[in-house]
Amino acid sequence: MLAEPLQPTQYAAALGTIALTYYLVPYFLDPYNYRRRFSGPWLAGLTGWWMSYNALGGNHSEIVRKQHEKYGAFVRLGPNHISIADPDALQAVYGHGSGVLKTDFYKGSGQVPNVFTSMEKSDHQMRRKRIANIFSQQNILAFEPRVREHIIHLLKRGSRETLDGKQGADFIDKLLQVKNEDGSSISIEELYSETFLFLLAGSDTSSNTLSSLCYHLAINPQMQRELQTELDQHIPLDSSDDSEEQTGLGIVPEYEQIKDLPYLNACIKEALRIHSTVGTGLPRVVPPGKTLKVAGHTFKAGSVISVPSYTTNRSSVWGPDASEFRPERWLEENAGSLNKYFVPFSVGPRSCIGRNLANMDLLLIAATLFRRYSVKALPTTKLEIHEYFVREAAHCEVAIKLREVV
């Protein structure tokens, strides 16, 4: 006797049963002991699609912040993913000795691994070691003429002049000189992958931080005047800075002139803090055979944890005005105690290898821009954010005017 073919409703019921089993059984078995300990959106306890769906809205960091506001310092963002909005957890999760690994999240690029996407500890150490010298505090000064050249190009809109006739170094030149431990050159695929990383990390993150700085100084003119007063005292004009020519050669400072200016540094640090270019927590996984203890909670092997910088940068450790742009917080007596919570380039063995260069870029560009120009808020001025991985300053209208200074 032949069995009757299944009807469409029976197929649907079977698929529904499989789906429910797939999601509900792990939830109730609770292998990571999350359900009792941590709260969060109910759907996030069943599937990682909750987080993926919310990321499509373009403001994921703010959604995560609101979940922490609702549920507390520990929030379940996925079946085995816990977000920890505790500034003191930064070192425990990302610092040296934590022992955690990068998750499959970093496989998404599909490229040859680079110093950011490499997942295995030994592979990352090898890649970081062979290019670390390029980004040392001493060696980034070799890039200064190139950085200043591009600033002048921006000001002149077409010129390719280089200060003092110095060509300056570029990344491709430096990467072509990189050698493996056996003396061989890196492969062309690795060169492409590292170059792509430098372009993303070195342009998007810096430009978005500077856009945030322009916005906040436009809506806070007194802070802008404070910065310009400091810059006027340390960046002199000369005859080449004729406003008719607008070459800008006289007010593109050297890094040595401006690297220690207090209010300039305070403005840059505050822009990095308040904008949080990568605001979602970078996920880490506890490796097999290991556990990790964070703020009194023990996480088993396979647990995914993250610390969302956008949220921690608005926590109470920054004071009652944590959500406000206020550079003066970096000049107050307790400013030193804030540095351990200030990790715009992450912390530990996976911290941003290009942070010294990024800081030089930000200081030089901001100093040149606000020495030469004033920015003013308009009735339409609003900083619009679109976020996927990087929090992009997608749109902001301000008026920019050449300053009349002597």
**Is 352 marked within a binding site?**
yes
DSSP code, position 388: S
CA dist 304 and 106 (Å) reads 13
Residue 120 makes CB contacts below 8 A (sequence gap 6+) with 101
Q: Where are the alpha helices (DSSP H) in 177-315?
A: 188-199, 205-219, 221-234, 255-258, 262-275, 309-312
Is residue 158 classed as helix, strand or coil in its secondary structure?
coil
Decide: 396 and 214 in contact? Cβ < 8 Å.
yes
What b/e string do you get for 78-97 counting C-beta neighbours within 10 Å, with b at 16 or more? bbbbbbbbbbbbbbbbbbee
Q: Which residue has the tokens 């996984």?
A: 285
CA dist 406 and 401 (Å) reads 15
DSSP code, position 281: P
Return binding residues.
352
Return binding residues for heme.
352
